[in-house]
Amino acid sequence: MTTFLIVLFLVGYTAIALEHLIKVNKAVSALFAGVLTWTVYILLSADKHHVGSQLIEGLGNNGGILFFLLGAMTIVEIINAHNGFEIITKIVNVTSKRKLLWIMTIITFFLSSVLDNLTTTIVMISLLSKFGLNKEDKMLFAGLTVIAANGGGAWTAIGDVTTTMLWIGNRISSVGIMKELFLTSAVSTLVPLAFISFFVKGKLEVVDNSASKENSNIKAWERNSVFFLGIGTLLFVPFFKGMTHLPPFMGILFGLAVLWLYTEIIHAKKHEEERELYSVTQALRRIDMGSVLFFLGILTCISSLESAGILSTAATYLNDTLKNPLLIDFAIGLLSAIVDNVPLVYGTMGMYTLQQFPVDHVFWTFLAYCAGTGGSILVIGSAAGVVSMALAKINFMWYLKKISFPALLGYIAGAIVFVLVNGAL
């Protein structure tokens, strides 16, 4: 059964990678892979009731991620409908593509540390459309956004789901992870940034604002208030989670409800046709649901491997083979470029106790770095990468050719810096 599941997984991922060659939408391949892996798993299992329970549990976890994604995308679309991102485009008043690349990457790196890498990627890639970038440049910017979002999320306890897991599991402290990983994460972002910036040249094209002028009835105070309230609701999510201990999707849905209510109030006196332009229902129509289904397929496929014990077996195999804990961390980072880093980190947490490695030990902090940034090496290796496939129309092979090598360089450079700073080896 294990071999069969792995083969189905590899076939599905190959179809996703060759989307443009086989002319089949990646969402189709992802959904097939997700459904077929679970079908094989339950048919070849003796305890079908247990597998059904695992599926329901996995659906609950995946549903939380999908609702979070939908909520964040809707908030961004509402801001966009009110031309809210013009505030940033006016502040970032540069004409050089290279300067813009550095500015956007640095903003992404720090924003991801207080939001999370998924939300940050949605916001920043949506913002890229406001600048005069051609298709190739936009994809380069989006690829670097993935690297910066994952790098920025790795050095705080709330920036990435794996660091949050380690923090809640008392493996790292919020202050300790920042002290240990800021420099390492920065290097993992700056190396690819320097590399890719050599290929980004020229001036920004003049942006056609005619589409924005269609919404000329939007007053400045409406635009500004929606922008700041929308960004505020996104920033509020980690605090909501900390206060209530509810999953992040509850915080994003609460923020969406607040923003929805506010837009209903400020547009209450306008004609129905005009109100519709700025409504949440209109924002939902602009969301690419095919991309959401692609995300669902990927998550479902990975959860089948996790439920079948394949990912925990992989983590155990790494432990038995590599012996050195830091090499295990490094390998987990590379493996997380292919499969979900959450079960890998969870399995690793189960193999080592706090007696072996106490809180903020280099093993745990290096694991947070590797699991958080290793997914950048392939576009399907992180939630940020999968979202970039949807929003920036990046395909697997393009990312592999243009982004994977500098991402790998950054990953290795950050690891070297970590070892040198901590004298870990």
Phi, psi of 96 (to 5 degrees): -85, 130
DSSP state of 25: -
Say how far apart CA 209 and CA 213 lie, in whole Å: 6
pLDDT greater than 50 at residue 285: yes
Say how far apart CA 313 and CA 350 lie, in whole Å: 12
Query: Tens digits of per-residue pLDDT, 2-53?
Result: 888 989 988 988 888 787 788 888 889 889 999 999 999 999 888 889 999 9
How many residues appear in the chain? 425
pLDDT greater than 50 at residue 425: no
Bridge partners, residue 203, by sequence: 96
Mean pLDDT of 270-281: 82
- Contact call for residues 100 and 92 (beta carbons, < 8 A): yes
Query: What pLDDT, on the 0 to 100 scale, is given for residue 284?
Result: 84
Say how far apart CA 9 and CA 119 lie, in whole Å: 27
Number of structural domains in the chain: 1
Say what the pTM is. 0.79
Say how far apart CA 397 and CA 331 lie, in whole Å: 23
What is the Rg, in whole angstroms, of the alpha carbon atoms belonging to the chain?
22
Average pLDDT, the chain: 85
Say how far apart CA 405 and CA 225 lie, in whole Å: 41
Say how far apart CA 385 and CA 149 lie, in whole Å: 10
DSSP state of 250: H
Say how far apart CA 73 and CA 383 lie, in whole Å: 14
Question: Read out DSSP for 209-230?
Answer: -HHHHTTTT--HHHHHHHHHHH
User: How far, in Å, are 7, 97, 127, 230, 421 from residue 138 at the CA level?
Assistant: 34, 10, 11, 24, 35
Say how far apart CA 88 and CA 259 lie, in whole Å: 19
pLDDT greater than 80 at residue 81: yes
Domain around 287: 2-422
Phi, psi of 172 (to 5 degrees): -135, 160
Query: What pLDDT, on the 0 to 100 scale, is given for residue 211?
Result: 46
Q: Can you read off the two tokens belonging to residue 100? A: 């813009």
pLDDT greater than 90 at residue 349: no
